[in-house]
């Protein structure tokens, strides 16, 4: 199973930049989207169906043009779960899960901590999501949580770790949480295969950051420990340029 995750920073904008043609060339079995910034009724779903993704599920924020996640699949999932049942998360359309056989795939858009109020919101979300994942894995242990975590884990994951140490996305408390999340039973699939520096998934639109590769690795495919031996590949698809993020890809033996 080939799974892609992509923060598209607005699906309608990405469509105008050739997203569907790119999707067909990469040809994943499942793609998880974040920050779709659209409601389902604002999209022509026949475009996705024509591209081979006849099963597409959209979970938008209540606030128009904000946040939201989606899952597009070639085959019909056994089950779709909209949200986590935690109301403040679900108001913002941040979690969508599809179950395929014994594997559960979640598209997650973790909040950014752009100011103190949002940082507190983010920290609460992280703590509550950890509890959710712990409980969920008791009954379905094969969970893959893909998406924009809005956190760089280690200095290797950010272009200027010293200068950005006090910026949300690389704060000690955020880095500690993502480390603890992995210790609770999840594998950072990209680092499972690749220990090299200068691999990023987000670049600011300012100061020619992408061309200079001054980026952050904010997007992860976190794979639960029982799937370790079924991991085949995990890469960053940095050539895709429909967003300020780029997609990531993970392959799992089914």
Q: 3-state class of 117 per DSSP?
A: helix
Q: Is 148 among the catalytic positions?
A: yes
Cα–Cα distance, 245 to 250 (Å, whole number): 16
The answer to whether the CB of 144 falls within 8 A of the CB of 106 is yes
Active-site hit among 29, 148, 188, 219: 148
Residue listed under structure tokens 């950072």: 188
- Give the strand pairing for 103-109 and 143-148: parallel
> Helices (DSSP H) in the chain: which residue ranges?
11-16, 19-26, 45-50, 87-90, 116-139, 172-183, 189-193
Q: 36 is written with which tokens? A: 């779709």
Q: 9 is written with which tokens? A: 């920073």
Q: Where in the sequence numbering do the catalytic residues fall?
A: 148
């Amino acid at each position: 199973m080939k799974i892609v995750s992509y923060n598209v920073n607005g699906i309608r904008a990405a469509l105008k930049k050739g997203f569907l043609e790119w999707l067909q060339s990469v040809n994943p079995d499942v793609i998880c989207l974040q920050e779709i910034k659209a409601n389902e009724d604002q999209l022509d779903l026949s475009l996705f169906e024509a591209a081979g993704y006849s099963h597409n599920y959209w979970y938008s924020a209540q606030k128009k043009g904000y946040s939201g996640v989606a899952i597009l699949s070639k085959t019909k999932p056994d089950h779709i779960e909209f949200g986590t049942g935690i109301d403040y998360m679900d108001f913002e359309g941040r979690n969508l899960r599809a179950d395929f056989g014994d594997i559960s795939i979640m598209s997650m858009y973790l909040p950014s901590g752009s100011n103190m109020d949002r940082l507190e919101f983010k920290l609460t979300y992280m703590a509550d999501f950890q509890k959710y994942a712990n409980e969920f894995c008791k009954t379905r242990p094969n969970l893959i949580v893909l998406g924009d975590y809005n956190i760089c884990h280690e200095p290797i994951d950010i272009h200027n770790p010293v200068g950005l140490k006090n910026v949300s996305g690389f704060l000690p408390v955020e880095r500690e949480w993502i480390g603890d999340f992995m210790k609770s039973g999840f594998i950072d699939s990209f680092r499972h295969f690749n220990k090299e520096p200068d691999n990023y998934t987000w670049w600011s639109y300012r100061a020619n950051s992408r061309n200079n590769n001054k980026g952050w690795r904010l997007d992860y495919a976190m794979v639960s420990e029982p799937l370790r031996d079924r991991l085949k590949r995990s890469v960053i698809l940095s050539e895709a340029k429909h967003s300020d993020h780029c997609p990531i890809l993970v392959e799992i033996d089914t």
